[in-house]
């Protein structure tokens, strides 16, 4: 019986066997604690008929645990050097398919339709590279994929921002974007000591459960997100100042922005971090007609 991949000894054996060296540019940090991997998979609540999508499988530590519980695992790996290693380490698991592709450039929906049963439960479970966490998450959410949710590990600071509430220093446009699509919760903190090589900071595991319907009604999603980003352009500035400087022809339309703020019941002197997602929805809906020329 093979030992699990995610132990310090087995990980080192695999790396030595293939002469593998970590690429800092790819944000490669491999987990070497099976208990933590199992807890991550627990939070995904997979069944024997679930499909799992992984991003950046590394040498297959998390992939292995997913393969033991899901019906099929699809993993996107960008680093060609890892393909022969994965073929070796995951050889006991015929229910795993590795796709050599940058997930940011991949047609993930087409892969899901081709490889997984759309009538069944599908989850994304991943230890995301720190440097591309936000672009990957936003791609998965904006493409409205047929998934139940995402359980992923990321830098703790990013996890704090994703699950932040209004009025906190972590709360920002990323919090609103993710919470528009999902219920976001931090379910685990993972110490930096359980990675090889050790990163500089601790990690968080965040569970994102997709809403059946967004929690707010907006006239135009793209404009809603543009308004939220604009409202946080300079955190110390008031919402009126940020919107005036960021919206197209904002200075010329300052009276329109003031009217929309008043209509939404939002005081001009407030800062973006104090507005709830509901207030941002009302505000973007009030602004929308003024910025359609």
Residue 21's pLDDT is 87
Q: What are 87-112's pLDDT values in tens digits?
A: 999 999 999 999 999 999 999 999 99
1 found inside a domain: no
Q: Print the domain residue range for 255.
A: 221-291
Same domain, 59 and 101: yes
Residue 45's pLDDT is 98
142 found inside a domain: yes
Same domain, 61 and 122: yes
For residue 277, the domain's CATH number is: 1.10.8.100
Residue 19's pLDDT is 93
Question: Which range among 2-11, 144-153, 208-217 shows the weakest confidence by mean pLDDT?
Answer: 2-11
Of the residues 210, 232, 254, the one at which a domain ends = 210
Residue 130's pLDDT is 84
Whether the predicted pLDDT of 61 surpasses 70: yes
Residue 24's pLDDT is 72
Residue 29's pLDDT is 86
Q: What are 174-195's pLDDT values in tens digits?
A: 999 999 999 999 999 999 999 9
Q: What are 142-179's pLDDT values in tens digits?
A: 999 999 999 999 999 999 999 999 999 999 999 999 99
Kindly state the percentage of the chain with pLDDT values over 70. Answer: 98
Question: Regarding predicted confidence, which is higher, 257 or 2?
Answer: 257
Same domain, 192 and 231: no
Domain count, the chain: 2
Same domain, 180 and 269: no
Residue 1's pLDDT is 58
Query: Band of the pLDDT at 253, cuts 50, 70, 90?
Result: very high
2 found inside a domain: no
Burial of 99 (0-12, 13-18, 19+ CB in 10 A): middle
The mean pLDDT of the chain is: 95
Residue 158's pLDDT is 95
Pick out the residues of the known binding site: 29, 31, 56, 77, 102, 127
Pick out the residues of the known binding site for S-adenosyl-L-methionine: 29, 31, 56, 77, 102, 127
Burial state string for 135-150 with b = 16 or more CB within 10 A and e = fewer than 16: ebbebbbeeebebbbb
143 found inside a domain: yes
């Amino acid at each position: 019986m093979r030992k699990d991949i995610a132990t310090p000894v087995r990980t080192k054996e695999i790396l030595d066997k293939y002469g593998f060296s970590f690429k800092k540019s790819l944000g490669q940090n491999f987990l070497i604690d099976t208990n933590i991997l199992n807890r991550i998979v627990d939070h995904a609540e997979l069944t024997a008929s679930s499909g799992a999508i992984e991003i950046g499988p590394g040498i297959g530590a998390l992939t292995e645990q997913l393969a033991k519980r899901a019906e099929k695992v699809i993993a996107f790996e960008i680093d060609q050097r890892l393909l022969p290693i994965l073929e070796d380490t995951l050889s006991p698991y015929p229910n795993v398919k590795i796709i050599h592709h940058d997930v940011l450039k991949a047609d993930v929906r087409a892969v899901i339709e081709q490889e997984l049963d759309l009538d069944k439960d599908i989850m994304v479970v991943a230890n995301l590279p720190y440097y591309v966490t936000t672009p990957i998450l936003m791609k998965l959410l904006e493409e409205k994929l047929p998934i139940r949710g995402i359980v992923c590990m990321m830098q703790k600071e990013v996890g704090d921002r994703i699950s932040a509430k209004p009025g906190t220093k972590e709360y920002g446009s990323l919090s609103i974007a993710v919470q528009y699509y999902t219920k976001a919760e931090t379910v685990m903190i993972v110490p930096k000591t359980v990675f090889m090589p050790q990163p500089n900071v601790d990690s968080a595991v965040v569970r994102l459960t997709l809403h059946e319907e967004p929690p707010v009604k907006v006239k135009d999603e793209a404009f809603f997100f543009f308004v939220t980003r604009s409202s946080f352009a300079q955190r110390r500035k008031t919402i009126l100042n940020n919107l005036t400087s960021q919206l197209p022809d904002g200075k010329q339309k300052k009276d329109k922005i003031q009217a929309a703020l008043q209509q939404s019941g939002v005081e001009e002197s407030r800062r973006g971090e104090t507005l709830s997602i509901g207030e941002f929805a009302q505000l973007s809906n009030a602004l929308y007609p003024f910025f359609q020329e």
